[in-house]
Amino acid sequence: MKKLLLLLCLCLLLVSWKLPSLSKISKAKKGAEMVAGATHKITEEEEYYIGRAVAANILSQYSLLKNKSLNRYLNLIGKALVLKSDRPEIYGGYHFAVLDSAEVNALSAPGGIIFVSRGIIEMAENEDELAAILAHEIQHIVSKDPLQAIKSQRMKSLGTFAAGEALGSSSEVLSIFKNSVLDITGTLLQKGYSRGQEKDADLGALDLLVAAGYNQDALLAMLEKCRGIEKKKAKAFSAHPSAAKRVDYVSDALGKKSGKDMSVRFSRFRKNVSR
């Protein structure tokens, strides 16, 4: 029995001795790779904190509409869509909110905070159209498009700190953080995403709408409305490329009809979205 216990102890010692050495090799290898590449890869937790700061920056420029029943309705639509997406669970979860602005606008901050303006909600005529707007924004989060707005130089600097080549002070990291937030906010509020990113979000939104049981035609209907008001400079949702071009490729991509019975959705839209 004693011998067996001794053998067991030896086994465990061997294991505990072996693991750290493997871990060290792995760390050294990873460190070498990071120094060579030196570009910081943003973790989901970091995406969450950048997203909170981007949202906070947007909410310093726009008022939040604190209508709890409308907000709950929007979150139920959004979450029904999210469950069918390629990224259903993210660090802090998805959250949807309304900006008290007459602009026709929708924005997605990194980490899943999605804003729609009062103006774009008023433009939607039914739940499926509202779902189409949210589906488009969810696709930007799934593709991590907001993070791609961060200038690559900032991630290289952060990567260098993380690799331990040059220890940055907290003020240096804070500066990179603030500038990254401004890169994203600038893209969301002024510059807009690239044509390719918008097209991918539109086509992904069509798939998401079908997967969730909503009517694909709703996206086309919203884009046609955007085309109608494009001269009035509708932001973000219709910014880039032009709504007319988006109507063309979305029309081409439309599949079979879905979302057959809309009666309950019509009535709950009327109940939750006051005119």
Partner 1 sequence: MKKKMCLLALLAAAAWLLAGKVLIVKVLRTQLLAKPDFLSNNLATMQKAARLELLETQGNWYLVRNANGSKGYVHQSSVSESKVSLSGIMPGKKGASDEELALAAKGFNEGNEKQLRGSREYNFADVDWVLDQDVAFAAVADFIKEGKLK
- Kindly identify the residues of this chain, within the stretch 235-264, that bind partner 1 according to CB under 8 A: 259-261, 264
Which CB atom, from 195 or from 270, has the smaller least distance to partner 1?
270
Nearest to 275 by CA among 106, 121, 85: 121
- Subset of 85-114 contacting partner 1 (CB under 8 A): 87-93, 95, 97, 113
Looking at residue 239, what DSSP letter applies? T
**Hey, what are 182's tokens?**
């401004």
Contacts with partner 1, 169-188, as mask; x by CB under 8 A: -x--xx--xx-x--------
Which CB atom, from 161 or from 249, has the smaller least distance to partner 1?
161
144 binds partner 1 (CB under 8 A): no
Nearest approach, Cβ of 270 to partner 1 (angstroms)? 13
Only segment of 7-15, 186-194, 198-206, 231-239 that touches partner 1 (CB under 8 A): 7-15
CA distance 160 to 153: 11
Nearest approach, Cβ of 247 to partner 1 (angstroms)? 25
What SS3 class is residue 97? strand
Nearest to 209 by CA among 115, 130, 132, 263: 132
Which CB atom, from 13 or from 244, has the smaller least distance to partner 1?
13
**What does 218-251 look like in DSSP terms, one character per residue?**
HHHHHHHHHHHHGGG---GGGTSS-HHHHHHHHH
Nearest approach, Cβ of 234 to partner 1 (angstroms)? 23
- Subset of 35-64 contacting partner 1 (CB under 8 A): 40, 42-46, 48-50, 52-53, 55-57, 59-60, 64
How many other β-carbons are positioned within 10 Å of the β-carbon of residue 85? 20
Q: 214, 84 in Cβ contact below 8 A?
A: no
CA distance 46 to 25: 26
* Strands, E assignment, 103-226: 106-109, 113-117
Among 13, 25, 28, 83, which residue interacts with partner 1 (rule: CB under 8 A)? 83
Q: 47, 91 in Cβ contact below 8 A?
A: yes
**What does 133-144 look like in DSSP terms, one character per residue?**
HHHHHHHHHHTT
Which CB atom, from 11 or from 102, has the smaller least distance to partner 1?
11
Which CB atom, from 1 or from 231, has the smaller least distance to partner 1?
1
Nearest approach, Cβ of 50 to partner 1 (angstroms)? 6
- Subset of 187-226 contacting partner 1 (CB under 8 A): 211-214
Q: Beta strand 106-109 with 113-117: parallel, antiparallel or unpaired?
A: antiparallel
Among 32, 37, 72, 195, which residue interacts with partner 1 (rule: CB under 8 A)? 72
How many other β-carbons are positioned within 10 Å of the β-carbon of residue 267? 11
Count of residues that bind partner 1 according to CB under 8 A: 72
